[in-house]
Structure 1
């Protein structure tokens, strides 16, 4: 597999999109990578009104997935992820929290700081999972297989950008 077959996973938002807020304290990073497993995670409506295939939590890292997206991931044997149960004050039947359980090495940073195009990591540090997070970051990367599954199921409000064209800030 070459590096042009990887995509960053981010969100595409609008003003009616539902966001939920966690009741109580939690570690957002540990929740995202699966080292914290709530049973269940209690959430309440924060803003918006429409639950899309991704429902974001109030932190920048975590999100819930719809039954449709869960079925897509499971039925295509995608790897590097797991879910956790939620309890909500509004109807979110079948929604689960998403955790990315796989990693690769730290990003290979360019020498110059500032905005750069293209994101790189050492392929030898990747375990072959369809979803993974580079060490020292919270960015989810997915394989081409995962991208094709997400696109074929017409999953709303997920943005997938090829790492080759990804624009980011190198500090």
Structure 2
């Protein structure tokens, strides 16, 4: 597939006429937030979309999509995160040793934490640093999603994100 997923995800490229996605790993029950091996692709359920709309969160839009391979009667949407901030400031993130994900694997080095100039942030509730696929949300979004008890939605503090620049 030749789509520019990062461009589509950030609203900078037009999507194809029909967005189709298929489950190829994991369980058959769809959560309210579905990730992908294409890390910039995120699908949201109609339940999650409704919360984002009702709370008036900014910096996003959603494109209806087709989703196959899951046990769900819900409608799903491709999440477009239009909010932005400037580029990451990698020099602020310390380099740490990361243990192997599997026994007997190799240790790696990674930067820990995602930092950017706060003055470069457009103030959106849902946003992404320039030149990255990282999805960031404000505490308001985290609180609203947590209160709604949506399935398969988990946030990590930006100070804990491991990132290879």
User: 2:79 is matched with which residue?
Assistant: 98
Give the structure with the larger strand fraction: 1
User: 1:121 is matched with which residue?
Assistant: 116
TM (normalized to structure 2)? Answer: 0.77
Q: 2:136 is paired with a residue of what secondary structure?
A: strand
User: 2:90 is matched with which residue?
Assistant: 109
Is residue 46 of structure 1 aligned with residue 10 of structure 2?
no
User: 2:65 is matched with which residue?
Assistant: 86
* Alignment partners' CA distance in 2, 1:49 and 1:134: 32
Native 8 Å contact 2:33 2:44 kept in 1: yes
Distance 1:131 1:27, change over 3 A: same
Q: 1:160 is paired with a residue of what secondary structure?
A: coil
User: 1:137 is matched with which residue?
Assistant: 132
Distance 1:120 1:71, change over 3 A: same
Is residue 72 of structure 1 aligned with residue 67 of structure 2?
no
Map 1:28-43; keep pairs closer than 5 Å. Answer: 28-35=5-12, 36-43=14-21
Runs of 4+ in 1 over 3 A off after TM superposition: 88-93
Aligned-residue RMSD, C-alpha? 2.2
1:92: how far off?
5.3
Native 8 Å contact 1:53 1:66 kept in 2: yes
Unaligned stretches of 5+ residues in structure 1? 1-23
* Alignment partners' CA distance in 1, 2:2 and 2:58: 29
* Alignment partners' CA distance in 2, 1:88 and 1:169: 29
Tell me: higher relative CO, structure 1 or 2? Use CA pairs within 8 A at least 6 residues apart.
Answer: 1
Is residue 146 of structure 1 aligned with residue 141 of structure 2?
yes
Native 8 Å contact 1:104 1:133 kept in 2: yes
